[in-house]
Amino acid sequence: MLEKFYPDEYLDSAYQIEFDRLYQEGYRGIIFDVDNTLVPHGAPADDRARRLFIHLRELGYQCCLLSNNKEPRVKTFNDAVQAQYIFKAGKPRISGYERAMELMGTNKKNTLFVGDQIFTDVYGANRAGIYTILTKPIHPKEEIQIVLKRYLERIVLFFYQRRK
């Protein structure tokens, strides 16, 4: 029953993902969550994020930011990294993931998703049929509704890691 929440991979950071290998495996599009996946919640894009997106473009990836935040937050981050973006995405609804693939010109077989939350990011991407990579949150400071969900995520991760 919990399998619908399990990621395909679980890593410490989005910055340790082997994007070169994944490109060789045929992936061409990456959908990213922003807050606590690429930078701390509400933080601007930093040099590390900018360098990552430059590298991804050099490899040949199409990228799209998919966020439940409002446009000013997502646009400000995007101005620094230059990707496609969707704000107020309504994750875990699959329509945002499908729209991101449409913007990138990719499909569920050659697209992957990177995010830090199980019940929005991973669950939605799994429902959309996309390869999922869950990362640990960058920073412990989060909104109260996310803090509460993290307790439930620990239960899911316990069973996920036991299965691995």
Position 96 scores a pLDDT of 98
Position 142 scores a pLDDT of 63
pTM of the model: 0.92
Burial of 26 (0-12, 13-18, 19+ CB in 10 A): exposed
Closest C-alpha among 116, 97, 112, 92 to residue 22: 112
Position 23 scores a pLDDT of 98
CATH classification of the domain holding 76: 3.40.50.1000
Pick left, alpha or beta for residue 85 (phi over 0 → left; psi -120 to 50 → alpha; otherwise beta). beta
Compute the distance between CA of residue 115 and CA of residue 128 in angstroms, rounded to an integer: 14
Which residue range(s) make up the domain with 88? Answer: 2-163
Position 145 scores a pLDDT of 67
Position 156 scores a pLDDT of 86
- Bridge partners of 150, per DSSP, are none
Position 125 scores a pLDDT of 98
Give the number of C-alpha atoms closer than 13 A to the C-alpha of residue 126, restricted to the C-beta side.
Answer: 17
Position 144 scores a pLDDT of 60
Give me the number of domains the chain comprises.
1
Closest C-alpha among 58, 54, 85, 51 to residue 70: 85
Compute the distance between CA of residue 139 and CA of residue 46 in angstroms, rounded to an integer: 14
Q: Which two tokens stand for residue 146?
A: 């996310």
What's the angle, vertex CA 70, arms to CA 47 and CA 63, rounded to 5? 50
Averaged pLDDT in 10-residue chunks for the chain of 164 residues: 93 97 98 96 95 98 97 97 97 98 98 96 98 90 68 86 81
Position 1 scores a pLDDT of 77
